[in-house]
Structure 1
Amino acid sequence: MGVDKRKAIYKQWRIPEKRLWFIAMVGGAVGTWLGMMVFHHKSRRIHFVIGFTVLAIIDISIMLFLFN
């Protein structure tokens, strides 16, 4: 999120949204959610806010289930 935000500010090539979703879906949802909150990137797009939040909750639930 930080890299994509910086690229957006400087009008450079951006990371495709599909890649951000892929990263979130393969276990990086907590990181993408935190990045979205820290860098205020994609935070106005409701489907990102809801989607990354739900995926982060699922990731945390799976981790708690596996490690308990």
Structure 2
Amino acid sequence: MTYLLIYLVVINILGYSLMMIDKKRAIKHQYRISERTLWITAILFGALGLFIGMKNFRHKTKHALFKYGLPILSVLELGIVLYVLNV
């Protein structure tokens, strides 16, 4: 259980950081982080971190797949985690 919680914290910090880095690169017209990488991170239980990063940095908010997909995936992942932890 401890390893699961550590993993969840790390993957969500990574997701948040990826959204921040991609936003900064977008502003500077630099090489960007692919949407594929962002979605892989989300699917690996980093959706909440990406969603919070999306809101904080106002990044990818006009993309319907991110706007609606990340919150839905976050809720699903939260449900899975609560089920696994028997909460």
User: Could you say which residue in structure 2 is the equivalent of 1:25?
Assistant: 43
TM-score by length of 2: 0.75
User: Could you say which residue in structure 1 is the equivalent of 2:63?
Assistant: 45
CA positional deviation for 1:65: 0.9
For 1:66 and 1:23, the matched residues in 2 are separated by 20
Q: Gapped runs of 5+ residues in structure 2? A: 1-18
Letter of the structure 2 residue corresponding to residue 59 of structure 1: E
For 1:33 and 1:62, the matched residues in 2 are separated by 17
TM-score by length of 1: 0.95
For 1:38 and 1:64, the matched residues in 2 are separated by 25
Q: Gapped runs of 5+ residues in structure 1? A: none
1:11 paired with 2:29, answer yes
Q: Give the RMSD, CA atoms, in angstroms.
A: 0.7
Q: Identity, % of aligned pairs?
A: 38
For 1:40 and 1:65, the matched residues in 2 are separated by 31
- Does the residue aligned with 1:56 lie in a helix, a strand or coil? helix
